[in-house]
Amino acid sequence: MIVGIDLGTTNSLIGAMDAGFPVLFADKDGGRLTPSLVFIPDEGEPVAGRQAAQHAEAIFSVKRQMGNAKVESNREGGLLKKAIAPEEVAAVILKKLKADAERASGQPVERAVITVPAYFNEAQRAATKRAGELAGFTVERLLSEPTAAALAYGLDRLGEKSKVAVYDFGGGTFDVSVLELGEGVFHVLSTHGDTHLGGDDLDAALAAKFGISRAEAADGKKDPSGAGFSESDFSATCLSIIERTRGHCLRSLHDAGLKAGDIEEVILVGGVTRMPLVREFVREVFGREPNLSQHPDEAVALGAVIQAGILDGSVQNVTLLDVTPLSLGIETFGGLMNVLIPRNTTIPCKAGEMFTNAAIHQEAMKISILQGEREMAADNWKLGEFSIPFTPAARGLVRIGVQFELDANGLLHVLGRDVATGDDITFAIRSAVEVSDEAVEKMLADSLEHAFEDMDDRQFVEAGLKADEMLPAVDTALQRLGSAVTGEEREAVAAWVEKVTEAREARSLRRLKAALGGLDAATEPLAARLVEAVMDGKL
């Protein structure tokens, strides 16, 4: 038996196929949801789930720290007494789920499919796999969460051909995937997301806005009027977070080569999608009523169970073609990233490139492996750096092949080959990409050295830049709007412009800031009118 596990930011679930159907297991308290909380006592066994919830110092949302070297803080924001890796904390949750499954099914459980956010990078995926291994599992597959949700949605619709989007807004992560379903094939076309955007951010924003604790905010958002939140403040605060998912949806459609109108169903999963505000937002972005057929908390776990069924043969005639969310490549001449495997490539896959030596006496070639979408190598995640040794030869004669292989888990294996000798070197990818403390300190020291000596100087320069931008903009705006500006408004703006000029001459930071603030306020109605005029096509 292979189990399917949804290792969530807020809650985790486990299940298995039973007589052809995906089933989730309940723990001894009868609950299928295990809170993703871990308490590590000074002495004795760590505990997870409801048992850990009783302790104020429990660690929460460890999923958001996967891929880091160590866990930063506990629920109360207090620093941990001893260093512990996020995967060790996640392993405590997985161990508890394993015990629940063993009790419920009456048999030992060793093999598992574990879900990860689609947008998890190499380090975050590797850490999740490691967590499973620490809990005593053989991790048969890491499965992307929106893909899992699509499996749960599509299993009883195998005959239908359709294009769907999965909008997965969970406790700590957001993903959106676009899939093509048909002929028993689940073909992921594109995926996008943010591994640090979820219900936690909503809670934090609400807590800050209304001056309450995160726990109170989490409860309050289920019933905003009951919690005494003013409706407009509540909507505005939440929308500022929800709005951040828009770009990911649009990019995902763009990468799939589709328009919102091409999507036949938008499937909602993840606890946050219970909020009416989120549903309304999705309706607006995709221009259609969202599909609520899936259980927000359980669909991903059910999908993991179905994937487990595909692997052990209990689910047949289903093929899943998933993709890698992020481009993989190497650093090349001039500090640029050379992409070997572009994002949204179907996995498993491989790609390679040949390199030659640049000098006679060269004995090795340094290869930096990168993941990300930015043009400059330095702006992407560096997964590792390797040196491939070879026998020196005349320039251009040595031929080194570098091959990238992505497995079905989305994990990377790199192979270097000296073509002349046929020697292969396989590289292991380091499991945490986080830079060491010393490296961070050095970066900080460097940046301080180059910073302005005096904070005031720097602020004055910045304010000056803003003035440089605003004064010509004021002229242009007044000219373009013409008679649409009242005499009163003109006078007010002119007065603030004069104050800005005076403050600059007097080199007074305080006065310049105040004058710019006044000018900002005085020109606000003009800015709004300009935008309106452009929208109406009058300019």
Partner 1 sequence: MKDCFALLGVPQRPLLDEKGLKSAYFRLAAECHPDAEGGDTDKFRELQEAYQTLKDPVFRLRHLAGVVFDSLGDSSRPSPQSDLFLQVGQVLQATKAFRLRREKSQSALARAVMISEGVKVREELGAVTEAVEQALREARVALGLLDKRWPRVAPEELLTLASGWRYLTRWQTELSGAEFGLMLEA
Residue from 470, 497, 509, 512 in contact with partner 1 (CB under 8 A): 470
Instruction: Show the tokens assigned to 153.
Output: 């949605």
Compare residues 181 and 212 and give the one whose CB is closer to partner 1. Answer: 181
Question: How far is residue 525's CA from residue 539's CA, in Å, rounded to a whole number?
Answer: 17
Partnered with residue 22 across adjacent β-strands are: 17
Question: How far is residue 395's CA from residue 404's CA, in Å, rounded to a whole number?
Answer: 25
Instruction: Show the tokens assigned to 464.
Output: 């000056």
String marking each residue 495-534 x if it binds partner 1 according to CB under 8 A = -------------------------x--xx-xxx-xx--x
Residue from 158, 204, 311, 484 in contact with partner 1 (CB under 8 A): 311
Listed ranges 9-17, 33-41, 75-83, 310-318: which one lies at the site for partner 1 (CB under 8 A): 310-318
Compare residues 214 and 480 and give the one whose CB is closer to partner 1. Answer: 480
Partnered with residue 39 across adjacent β-strands are: 47
- Count other Cβ atoms within 10 Å, centred on residue 32: 18
Measured N-to-C along each axis, helices 509-535 and 487-505 cross at an angle, to the nearest 10 degrees, of 140
Residue 413 in contact with partner 1, rule: CB under 8 A: no
Least distance CB 407 / partner 1 (angstroms): 7
Residue 239 in contact with partner 1, rule: CB under 8 A: no
Contact (CB, 8 A) for 323 and 191: yes
Question: How far is residue 408's CA from residue 512's CA, in Å, rounded to a whole number?
Answer: 58
Listed ranges 50-58, 114-122, 258-266, 405-413: which one lies at the site for partner 1 (CB under 8 A): 405-413
Q: DSSP secondary structure string, 227-259?
A: TT--HHHHHHHHHHHHGGGHHHHHHHHHHHT--
Compare residues 232 and 316 and give the one whose CB is closer to partner 1. Answer: 316
Residue from 214, 480, 511, 513 in contact with partner 1 (CB under 8 A): 480
Compare residues 480 and 511 and give the one whose CB is closer to partner 1. Answer: 480
In Å, how far are 99, 178, 528 from 121, measured between CA atoms? 29, 19, 41
Q: Which residues are catalytic?
A: 6, 63, 145, 168
Contact (CB, 8 A) for 56 and 75: yes
Question: How far is residue 433's CA from residue 402's CA, in Å, rounded to a whole number?
Answer: 21
Residue from 350, 399, 499, 511 in contact with partner 1 (CB under 8 A): 350
Residue 261 in contact with partner 1, rule: CB under 8 A: no
Least distance CB 318 / partner 1 (angstroms): 9
Residue from 209, 251, 399, 513 in contact with partner 1 (CB under 8 A): 251
Residue with tokens 């879900």: 115
Residue from 43, 469, 505, 536 in contact with partner 1 (CB under 8 A): 469
Least distance CB 522 / partner 1 (angstroms): 9
Residue from 155, 411, 429, 473 in contact with partner 1 (CB under 8 A): 473
- The identity of residue 317, as a single letter, is N
Instruction: Show the tokens assigned to 196.
Output: 């640090």
Compare residues 44 and 313 and give the one whose CB is closer to partner 1. Answer: 313
Partnered with residue 111 across adjacent β-strands are: 2, 138
Compare residues 56 and 534 and give the one whose CB is closer to partner 1. Answer: 534
Residue from 216, 227, 277, 348 in contact with partner 1 (CB under 8 A): 348
Least distance CB 389 / partner 1 (angstroms): 27
Residues 6+ apart with CB under 8 A from 7: 36, 63, 90, 93, 94, 114, 115, 116, 128, 131
Least distance CB 85 / partner 1 (angstroms): 29
Residue 466 in contact with partner 1, rule: CB under 8 A: yes
Residue 319 in contact with partner 1, rule: CB under 8 A: yes
Listed ranges 46-54, 215-223, 232-240, 463-471: which one lies at the site for partner 1 (CB under 8 A): 463-471
Contact (CB, 8 A) for 95 and 74: no
Among residue numbers 155 through 184, which ones bind partner 1 (CB under 8 A)? 183-184
Among residue numbers 41 through 100, which ones bind partner 1 (CB under 8 A)? none
- Count other Cβ atoms within 10 Å, centred on residue 258: 17
Residues in the interface with partner 1 (CB under 8 A) total 43
Residue from 254, 259, 458, 510 in contact with partner 1 (CB under 8 A): 254
Compare residues 143 and 367 and give the one whose CB is closer to partner 1. Answer: 143
Residue from 476, 491, 498, 510 in contact with partner 1 (CB under 8 A): 476
Residue 408 in contact with partner 1, rule: CB under 8 A: yes
Residue 187 in contact with partner 1, rule: CB under 8 A: yes
Residue 113 in contact with partner 1, rule: CB under 8 A: no
Burial state string for 206-244 with b = 16 or more CB within 10 A and e = fewer than 16: bbebbebebeebbebbeebeebebeeeebbebbeebbee
Contact (CB, 8 A) for 165 and 191: no
Instruction: Show the tokens assigned to 199.
Output: 């219900």
Instruction: Show the tokens assigned to 85.
Output: 């890796």
Residue 313 in contact with partner 1, rule: CB under 8 A: yes
Using DSSP, state whether 358 is helix, strand or coil: coil
Question: How far is residue 140's CA from residue 220's CA, in Å, rounded to a whole number?
Answer: 39
Question: How far is residue 30's CA from residue 60's CA, in Å, rounded to a whole number?
Answer: 22
Phi-psi region of 228 (alpha: psi -120 to 50; beta: other; left: phi over 0): left
Least distance CB 330 / partner 1 (angstroms): 19
**Residues of the shown chain interacting with partner 1 in the complex, contacts defined by CB under 8 A:** 183-185, 187, 247, 250-251, 254, 307, 310-311, 313, 317, 319-321, 345-346, 348-350, 405, 407-408, 465-466, 469-470, 473-474, 476-477, 480, 520, 523-524, 526-528, 530-531, 534, 539
